[in-house]
Amino acid sequence: MKALATRLRWRRKSRLFRMDRTQIVLTILLAAGGYFMLMPLIYIFNHSLKPYSELFLFPPKIFVQEPTLSNFTEFFVVIQDSTVPVTRYLFNSVVVTGLGTLCVVVISALCAYPLAKHKFPGHNLVFAGILLSLMFVPEAMQIPRYVVVANLGIMDTYWGHILPHVAAPVNVFLIKQFMDQVPNELLEAGKLDGAREWTIFSRIVIPICMPAIATTAILSFQSIWNDASTSVLFMQNDAMKTFPYFLSTITNNLANQVARQGAAAAAGLVTFLPTLIFFLAFQRKVISTMAHSGIK
């Protein structure tokens, strides 16, 4: 009897049993959609653990039947044959991604703040130009970017990796839209207390907009970490190239080959893991930004 009473009490408290039919159906549909969105992630992990006998199955299977670590062994053998030590590529990627993400976030926030809170003459035209730049695909900008980097004399330097990523109109738009919701009265109160513009920006606006800042940091980290184009276009010295470029040399021209397919599968997971870890560290901020927000 006591067990039955406990079960009935648990059912009364459970959210599932307090839902109506519509809520239950929506919960099931959302759970199914969430599982579907996780499939690429599940596939990457399973694919890296597949033996050669499963890598070439047709039709391909998502889940591995006989998991093995031989792909990672093959991957480490391949990287040991590199002319430039793989640690150099990793060091370059860490420096470029870290500094690049910091620069993008800071510059995007500094650009968004006057657009959101200082209605200077022509601010609508500037913002329209930023929105217009979203229409250009990256391929259309490669030649202008190369000309700028070459004329600045930053080929074969870390700035050659970082500078092409600094202009991020998507990040400016996201932060600006978030800053628009910060009450002007809060900024006026700071000015009455004697706070200068930089103090208001750094101690009032930025802490409130941390969800948007974290989201732009994730987007920038993912873009910079996975980008091998700067190594191809702006770096002639192999010692200045990044880890994604090195991994791309492993996976290039493998469409019709059997050799190194296991290493390529492991390389895909190795490339993806830093982005996943960075996202998991800031996922709450991202959810807060998307659920949005701001100050009620």
The predicted pLDDT at position 99 comes to: 93
CA atoms within 13 A of residue 280's CA, in its CB half-sphere: 6
User: HEC string of 23-82?
Assistant: HHHHHHHHHHHHHHHHHHHHHHHHHHCCCHHHHCCCCCCCCCCCCCCHHHHHHHHHHHCC
Dihedral of CA atoms 166, 171, 172, 175 in degrees, nearest 10, equals -140
The predicted pLDDT at position 294 comes to: 43
Name the residue ranges covered by the structural domains of the chain.
23-68, 84-291
Q: Regarding the domain with residue range 84-291, which homologous superfamily does it belong to in the CATH classification?
A: MetI-like (1.10.3720.10)
Burial environment of residue 236 by CB neighbours within 10 A (0 to 12, 13 to 18, 19 or more): exposed
- Residues in the chain with pLDDT < 50? 10, 255, 293-296
Find out whether 117 and 182 touch, Cβ atoms under 8 Å: yes
Residues 56 and 54: their CA atoms lie apart, in Å, by 5
What are the residues whose beta carbons fall under 8 Å from the beta carbon of 220, sequence distance 6 or more?
100, 101, 104, 105, 165, 168, 171
Identify the helix (H) or strand (E) that includes residue 286. Answer: helix 283-291
What's the pTM value of the predicted model, to 2 decimals?
0.77
pLDDT digits (tens, 9 = 90+) for 274-295: 888 888 877 766 665 555 544 4
Residues 207 and 35: their CA atoms lie apart, in Å, by 34
pLDDT digits (tens, 9 = 90+) for 40-74: 888 888 888 888 777 777 777 778 888 888 888 88
Residues 247 and 75: their CA atoms lie apart, in Å, by 10
